[in-house]
Amino acid sequence: MNAFVKLAQLAEIAAMGVIVCATAMVVKAWEILPDSLYAPLGLAHARPVAIGGKDFLLWVMLGMFAVYLLLSVFMRFHRLYSYPVKIRPYNREAQQALLKSYLSLIKFELTCICAYTIAVILFSTLLEEPLWFDIWFALLVACVLGATTGGYYYLAHKHK
């Protein structure tokens, strides 16, 4: 189970790094951002459309911080969770380590999604270059989150 603890630590560090990079991008670009922000919505390589003012970018940042903080708080109360397997004295430690690594990975993935959304908005607004942000991105996100959850359930049953 030591590998799960290391994975959780690595995912935590990576999530914090993503948050720092996304915040640095916004701070660096804030002064040169126009009043209206743009993002390509719809088909790939669509023309960027106006999505709101600078405050929209702050809402995305706030969402990223909220996801990180809420999942960090949830990780402290692992006894309240409904585990996919029955918890016994001999498997408690392994299941808790596995759950913490799962939540750390989900936290990392969700912060990456928010950071990519911020990058799409900044690139579309400043460079007038649409980035890949369409239905395929949504499917990729669903597959990554689904694979992480499926892997967690598989490992939870394997280590029961």
pLDDT 10s digits, 104-140 = 999 999 999 999 888 888 887 887 766 666 677 778 8
Instruction: Kindly report the pTM of this predicted structure.
Output: 0.84
Residue 37, SS3 per DSSP: strand
Domain enclosing residue 141, as ranges: 2-158
125 within 8 A of 45, measured Cβ to Cβ = no
pLDDT value of position 79: 72
- Specify the long-range contacts of residues 15-18, CB closer than 8 Å, at least 24 apart: 15/68, 15/104, 15/107, 15/108, 15/111, 18/108, 18/111, 18/112, 18/115
Residue 49, SS3 per DSSP: strand
pLDDT value of position 41: 65
pLDDT value of position 134: 65
- Separation of alpha carbons 118 and 25, rounded Å: 8
95 within 8 A of 4, measured Cβ to Cβ = no
Listed in sequence order, the residues at least 6 apart from 115 whose beta carbon sits closer than 8 Å to its beta carbon are 18, 19, 21, 22, 64
Count CA atoms closer than 13 A to 97's CA, side-chain side: 15
Q: What is the pLDDT along the chain (160 residues), one digit of tens a residue?
A: 578 788 889 999 999 999 999 999 999 999 998 888 877 666 555 566 677 788 888 898 999 999 999 999 988 887 777 778 887 888 888 888 888 888 999 999 999 999 988 888 888 788 776 666 667 777 888 999 999 989 888 988 887 7
- Separation of alpha carbons 150 and 142, rounded Å: 12
Q: How many domains does the chain have?
A: 1
pLDDT value of position 24: 95
pLDDT value of position 143: 92
